[in-house]
Amino acid sequence: MVLDGKGLAKKVLENVKAQIESTGLTPGLAVVIVGDNPASRVYVNNKKKDCAECGIKSEEFALPENAGEGKLLALIDELNNRKDIHGILVQLPLPVGYAQEKVIQAISPAKDVDAFHMLNVGRIFTGNYSFLPCTPAGVIELLDAYDIDPKGKHCVVVGHSNIVGKPMAMMLLHRHATVTICHIHTVDLASFTRQADILVCAVGKVNLITADMVKQGAVVIDVGINRKEGGGICGDVDYEAVSEKASYITPVPGGVGPMTRALLMRNTLEAAKNLN
């Protein structure tokens, strides 16, 4: 069965819109983009579109690639102090020469709607959080919507980045799953993925997960986004073959991606509620 992220994301956005209308809040999201990376431009445009759809005021701050870290940090400081801005998002990756980690840590944790700041990351570990990073939070939301309970299951997460793999593993642990994290140095990846009741792949490599690596009836979540030659995107999972074996599977596009976008809107609303 296909896990319909696109359909569920639409419901999340409708819910955010309804809450904004009923509370009378006007959440404000500052979207900061540095340089002219075409993929970043697409992501920023999508975020602005989502904001418009659910009643969040978005403001774009586009800096040229050579603006310099000082200018970017000064902008973040200004946004941290603005009462009408509740969420600050710096589109990553930043161009070469910018200390990405330093920039992330400059964002006020209360406005860190990506949940990348160290304070918010620490809160994910203790379970006492205001925001969760949008991609793993979107995955949990999808599982919940289809009554897939990670409790007692063996969840295997492939990829251990700070923004997807690690928080994903932690969130599954909070749901009482037994979690295995695999990465580039994992010896015999298939021996781990074959044990997964729930398999989450977040790597960025086409066909990394083939049907022989998946247990019959497993739930397969494909976070990967890979650009295909000639246009379009695909995930990390050999979708056609794996969907024959999986009980549930996310498509790419239409799975985790739309959920990530929707959860950013919800985080921005939550930030506005907390700051008001």
Binding-site ranges for ligand NAP (CB under 6 A): 135, 158-161, 163-165, 182-184, 186, 189, 202-205, 208, 223-225, 256-257, 260
Pairing type for strands 219-222 and 198-201 reads parallel
Q: Which of residues 260 and 267 has its CB atom nearest to ligand NAP in the complex?
A: 260
CA distance 136 to 165: 8
Q: Which of residues 209 and 218 has its CB atom nearest to ligand NAP in the complex?
A: 209
CB-based contact 193:213 (threshold 8 Å): yes
Minimal CA–CA distance to 13: which of 42, 64, 41, 49?
49
Residue 91: active-site member: yes
State which residue has the least CB distance to ligand NAP. 204
CB of 29 to ligand NAP, least distance (A): 17
Minimal CA–CA distance to 223: which of 191, 200, 241, 248?
200
Residue 105: active-site member: no
Residue 47: active-site member: yes
Q: Which of residues 176 and 183 has its CB atom nearest to ligand NAP in the complex?
A: 183
Q: Which of residues 109 and 257 has its CB atom nearest to ligand NAP in the complex?
A: 257
CB of 245 to ligand NAP, least distance (A): 20
The catalytic position among 50, 114, 236, 238 is 114
CB-based contact 91:114 (threshold 8 Å): no
* Sole residue written with tokens 């939550």: 270
CB of 64 to ligand NAP, least distance (A): 25
CA distance 69 to 67: 7
The residues that are catalytic are 47, 91, 114
